[in-house]
Amino acid sequence: MSGWNATTLGTLINLKRGYDLPSQSRIFGDIPIYSSSGVSGYHRAKMCDGPGVITGRYGTIGQIFFSKSPYWPLNTTLYVQDFRGNDELFVYYFLKLLDWEKYSDKSAVPGVNRNDVHQENVVFPPLPEQKAIAAVLSSLDDKIDLLHRQNTTLEAMAETLFRQWFVVEAKDDWEATTLGDVIEIFDGQRVPLSNVERDKKKDGVLYPYYGAAQIMDYINDYIFDGEYILLGEDGTVRTEEGYPVLQYATGKFWVNNHAHVLRSKEPYSNFFLWNYLSKKNIDEIVTGAVQPKINQGNLKSLGFPHFPENLVNEFNNRTQPILNKIQHNKAHENQLKKLRETLLPKLMSGEVRVRF
């Protein structure tokens, strides 16, 4: 590849450990504080100017973050102190391809040693091509972000209607039932997917592979085909506010055994159920001090009012166009994510070239 530079990563960028910032020393401001898992708060003072690239040194390993603005990287992170003339956004995408767990394994104490990462043999294109590659990938991310923000707005519209009709205007004489009366559970159809199998499934038609909290991968096989709600079963099961971790899954997909697979019974729709659960505190049904878990029995026992059927039907009719738009956006978003994941290694290796 003409003009590409084969060398070690440490000659192209310099990684540095982040800085301590105890919670009692933080003064709220507009500077994002990055931990190994992303933004964990805000502070009045900066430690680094943007743009910046940050990754986990301890704790969560392998996630890469890009900060356009000034930021504070905590001591659980590594950040790029010196890009040495390379494009910051290109470096962000390039670091996403590294096997960070490999560097963690090298250390006597679990964690990533920057010196190990610096020794990685890499090939970098010249700066103009770096910028062109980063522009292609960032344009995909911008479109994905736009679709995500559109869906956030649409979901808020449906939530406002739900809250007004079924919370603010709720009647005391609505009969108390349980969630088990209004859902079907399909956990018996779930199949865990081993890492060996996943590594073989990279070509052909790809489908989302769900865990408890997110899409974990795209693979060319599926278990479910339809419209379901996924609710975290163990590990990541609730938000900081105590609400369940939910995903609205449609079409063909695979799910492992860390999420309950639910479907509503008539007259309730899955979208109605999703709106109800998204603001339902579930602390009372979560067990396990070290590994939070929601078993089927506790899930079925969760309180659920017997809402008037005519009101439920009216909500379903009014929100169906909103749901259709959300699902369309999600399908488009998933297509763009799959395209980005396909292009990323090809662009970074030079297998696919872009004009610059």
302-323 pLDDT, tens digit each: 999 999 999 999 999 999 999 9
Q: What is the mean pLDDT of residues 271-289?
A: 92
Which class for 77: exposed (0-12), middle (13-18), buried (19 or more C-beta within 10 A)? buried
Of 14-23, 79-88, 210-219, 257-266, the least confident: 210-219
Q: Above pLDDT 90, what percent of the chain?
A: 73
Q: Report d(CA 257, CA 344) in Å as an integer.
A: 29
Whether 204 shows a pLDDT value over 70: the answer reads no
Q: Please determine whether the domains at 5-124 and 138-340 fall in the same fold group of CATH.
A: yes
Range of weakest confidence among 72-86, 213-227, 255-269: 213-227
The dihedral formed by the CA atoms of 226, 227, 231 and 235, expressed in degrees to the nearest 10: 40
CATH 1.20.120.530 correct for 138-340: no
> Picking from 10-24, 75-89, 93-107, 285-299, which range would have the lowest pLDDT averaged per residue?
93-107
DSSP letter (8 states) at residue 202: -
pLDDT at 199: 56
Contact between 210 and 230 under an 8 Å Cβ cutoff? The reply is yes
Name which of 15, 179, 175 is nearest 81 in CA terms: 15
Has residue 154 got a pLDDT over 70?
yes
Domain boundaries in the chain? 5-124, 138-340
Tell whether the model's pLDDT for residue 198 goes beyond 70. no
Tell how strand 38-43 and strand 183-185 pair up.
Answer: unpaired
What is the rounded average pLDDT of the residues 278-282? 92
- Tens-digit pLDDT profile for residues 221-242: 899 999 999 999 998 898 888 9
Supply the pLDDT for residue 197: 64
Confidence bin at 56 (pLDDT 50/70/90):
very high
Mean pLDDT of the region 200-225 = 80
pLDDT confidence band for 196 (50 / 70 / 90) = low
How much is the pLDDT for 229? 96
CATH 3.90.220.20 fits 5-124, yes or no: yes
Helix H segments across the chain? 9-12, 88-95, 100-106, 114-118, 127-163, 195-200, 270-277, 296-300, 309-349
Which residue do the tokens 């729709």 mark?
269
Strand 215-219 relative to strand 183-185: parallel, antiparallel, unpaired?
A: unpaired
What are residue 160's phi and psi, to 5 degrees? -65, -45
- Give per-residue pLDDT as tens, 84-126: 999 999 999 999 999 888 887 655 556 888 999 999 999 999 9
Of 192-206, 215-229, 250-264, the range with the lowest mean pLDDT is 192-206
